[in-house]
Structure 1
């Protein structure tokens, strides 16, 4: 019987997984990097080998539409993620209290999170419908609107409306993470703070907040990374319109590479997005390490 060292055995066990990762992730990534330095175009296969160097990257950094898509993405992330954190924490604090029906509400909290993003986007697009949408019907019946509003057709409102749909779907993730952290807080600490004369606000800042800050920080970074890559909800609800007011970086990459078939420049846009995402991931890892050091 052939005996292998522990290191050799480990590498042999990792080989199938490494092979799949290299084939599924590594090879496409290398091809994307290669294409980003060429003038590759889907309609002209001969352009695949047309080397242009850093021209695509310089063009991307000087493209006002691409820079606008980054601005739209940053705006979407700031609005969506901040609202998800605030609502998620408040809902978690509510569901941590003892009241009748709490278990049912906790179960219902999972439903928006379990809903596929495309289904969620279609549902909210129907709600926002300018002719028969439920939101217009509700607001006109209670007197807040005189006439129906085209929520997704107004450049000043469209991104906000998409953000609301995203918030509704993803705030339960923050709520569940926060609720799990709240469950670890000893009731003795709360009772001791109460006996010391601390009111509800003081108990929150001195006992509850220190216990949930680390999990909420992780949820913040995770949601920031996901929100920065937003594509599907934009594609279904607005297709980047009206007037590019909801075009995000991921949607811009999709248009450049597949709608306009400019694979070379689309690859350069995609790699710029990857670099920005890598910075967000590095922040996430730093927070995890910091949490482990302080634990």
Structure 2
């Protein structure tokens, strides 16, 4: 009699088993991420204006070409780039400095390390409301402190001044985002062997030379990751500016997220707003590609 053929169990084919196990997650990603991305890109190729639905039409890349001549959008792009770059520089400098202090041994070190995470863990809208209260012209803590210290003679409307408004929202963003850099750098510092520092001390190296030739090269990959993430998050900042300045005065603090929001949900120009969001994402992608290439080069050289 012919022998019965037994079906092979799934465990004999690890590729098929892995595909089946990840299929639910892939379907969820497809439904939640990929489909909205494709549909919003398709929307960006249309003139979709809810205030004038009779003019809706497929216009291909016309929205993108119009954006390249949109002075207000280009200004928001420059404001966002300046905001993100300045924030990243300050966050890296402060993050490394604070991490070096927290890496030392002192009483209450664990408690202080725990406190460092609080600003970053605070919801963005709560952080924005707190800084709006601090900067308030009538009863803000900043005016009260500077007046009591006799630095200023009377209360000032800080957020009505274009220069001060830009500086103050950057400081508020740095206060919230710096702990993330501190945590990453602190973890990298703890992974550095103590033998390297002992050898440097035996050779007569100063603390600065040890930092420059040992600490900085070994934490540079972490700094690169932190800088890139902070730069991208800077382009995603919305609540802080929306609550504190609303993009003013004179659009000096209008980030691209605020411009996209105003175009899409206030002016109801959904097609143009979608194109604006995609063009901004392309701008963010450029430094991200540079980072990936640099990281890959480091891995190849190791």
| TM-score, structure 2 normalization | 0.92
**Structure 2 residue 39 is matched with structure 1 residue 31:** yes
Tell me which residue corresponds to 1:9. Answer: 17
Alignment of 1:1-295 (within 5 A): 3-4=9-10, 5-48=13-56, 50-295=57-302
Deviation of the 1:278 alpha carbon: 2.2
Retained in 2: the 8 A contact 1:66–1:249?
yes
Deviation of the 1:10 alpha carbon: 2.4
Q: Greater shift after overlay, 282-291 or 12-21?
A: 282-291
Q: Greater shift after overlay, 131-140 or 33-42?
A: 33-42
Tell me the C-alpha RMSD between the 2 structures.
Answer: 1.6
Query: Residue deviations 1:2-34, cap 9 Å, x none?
Result: 634333222222221222112112221122111
Change in 2 beyond 3 A, CA 1:14/1:46:
farther
Cα separation, 1, equivalents of 2:288 and 2:296: 12
Q: Greater shift after overlay, 163-172 or 187-196?
A: 187-196
Query: Residue deviations 1:166-217, cap 9 Å, x none?
Result: 1001111111111111111222211221121111111111221111111111
Change in 2 beyond 3 A, CA 1:17/1:47:
farther
How many residues are aligned here?
294
Cα separation, 1, equivalents of 2:35 and 2:52: 22
Query: Residue deviations 1:216-236, cap 9 Å, x none?
Result: 111111111111221121112
| TM-score, structure 1 normalization | 0.94
Unmatched 5+ stretches in structure 2: 1-6
The alignment partner of 2:46 has SS state of coil
Deviation of the 1:119 alpha carbon: 0.6
Cα separation, 1, equivalents of 2:222 and 2:186: 10
Retained in 2: the 8 A contact 1:80–1:166?
yes
Cα separation, 1, equivalents of 2:283 and 2:23: 30
Change in 2 beyond 3 A, CA 1:103/1:294:
farther
Deviation of the 1:291 alpha carbon: 4.0
Q: Greater shift after overlay, 270-279 or 9-18?
A: 9-18
Cα separation, 2, equivalents of 1:96 and 1:34: 50
Unmatched 5+ stretches in structure 1: none
Cα separation, 1, equivalents of 2:181 and 2:300: 23
Cα separation, 2, equivalents of 1:25 and 1:64: 31
Retained in 2: the 8 A contact 1:41–1:262?
yes
Query: Residue deviations 1:44-92, cap 9 Å, x none?
Result: 44544x1122221111110000000011001101211100000000001
Deviation of the 1:286 alpha carbon: 2.7
Retained in 2: the 8 A contact 1:178–1:212?
yes
Cα separation, 2, equivalents of 1:37 and 1:185: 51
